Chain A
Amino acid sequence: MIVFVLLSLLAIAGALGTILWKNAVYSALSLVGTLLALACIFVTLEAQFLASVQVIVYAGAIMVLFLFVIMLLNAQYPSEDVDPLPWLSPVVIAGGVVLAGALAYTAFLYKAPKPLAEAAKALQGGAPGPVGETLFTKFLLPFEAVSLLLIIAVVGAVALVKREPEAKVQRETLEERATHTPEEVVV
């Protein structure tokens, strides 16, 4: 129980950090903290394989991609202009608190279908072997579908980020460039 409380406090702290930091880099790093805490919670939930995948794929690959894009776009700082919807924050926070309360309340209405210890044993610790067995028998079709989805995502990402054909871009001549001050050239 102590472990759970500590880990969940860590996860919640990370989550709050994600939404409260003004700097996007800090936000992303806080989220990494939450994800790591969740990975540890997965271990306590008899899901070892998922815990490791969570660390490798989520906290590793996906978050690195995030940080990379933040750095690339130089987008870590929030914009300074006035919020056009000033009434929104209090409403959202109130709604969020009610939602959290309601969800937590419903959570405690849940009645376990069978004794926990008995059920947990059946999971075999969520090792890669048993998980893989389910994945490649009962979930074979979703598995293949997801592989297709990944290909589509790769193609889609390339198509989205691909630049317009060069011809449309007005290239600066060297003469023009020479007349600008360096600050003007930087877009």
Chain B
Amino acid sequence: MQTVFSIGVDALAYGMVLFVISIGLSVTMGLMRVVNLAHGAFAMIGGYIASYAARDLGLAYAVAVMLAVAGTILIAIPIERLLYRRIYGQPELTQVLMTIGITFCIIGIANYVFGPTLKTIPTPETLREPVSLGFRTVSSHRLFVIACGAAVALGLWYFIERTAFGVKLRAAVDNAAMAAALGVRTQVVYAVSFAVAVGLAAFGGVVGAELLPIEPYYALRYMVTFLVVVSVGGAGSIPGALAACLLLGAIDTTGRYLMPEFGEFFFYLAVIAIVWLFPRGLAGRAK
């Protein structure tokens, strides 16, 4: 029972981290139709900035998180303007090559600047103590992560479904040319969504650093995980992405607990099975 419970908590926390990081990818992919393999690299940049701020500069955790989000967005803006702009609407292969090139560059630079070792982000005291739920105690960090994921999901839902910007965003996702003709400034919509996506990636990278440790090959190692979430959930769908994250988080965590010697074998097997069964994603629409 204890095992089932801790698997459940860990799976939920892992799924929420995946959700926070990949939801931005899902939204931008649905909006801009760019296969962005470099998304994990932005999460990694966020993790590095937070680690530098909290460990080397000794700043508070909350400040480090904010710095990481802001810093990553600052780094991402020129990349978007100079490189991503040119691949909107291009064939998939071109997009894959460009974004994988960006990923390789970021990995190489991170390796050069920060070295090949694992980076930790020191968490404040309150997040390190276990919390009693009455019948069980759980790590408060896990609870914090789960709460962050839930907050992001709710916030995004409100942002997309209930605000004026969300209306424009959905219009641009459905038909960018038509939205532009009706006076929606799609360039602004694109830029804001890209910034939000990158910021969320950085946030997820920092919050989830205990589950997905920050190191130079982070971007490559979890690239497939983030892409899987999007393709399983269906690009642009928040409920789809949430369902995919929780499902994949559960599969991966259970596999690690019960059969650690098989590594990620079952995870990839599940990925193939799920994509095989739902080639358009759980909540995907026909093209």
**Binding partners A and B:** no
Which residues of A does B touch, CB under 8 Å? none
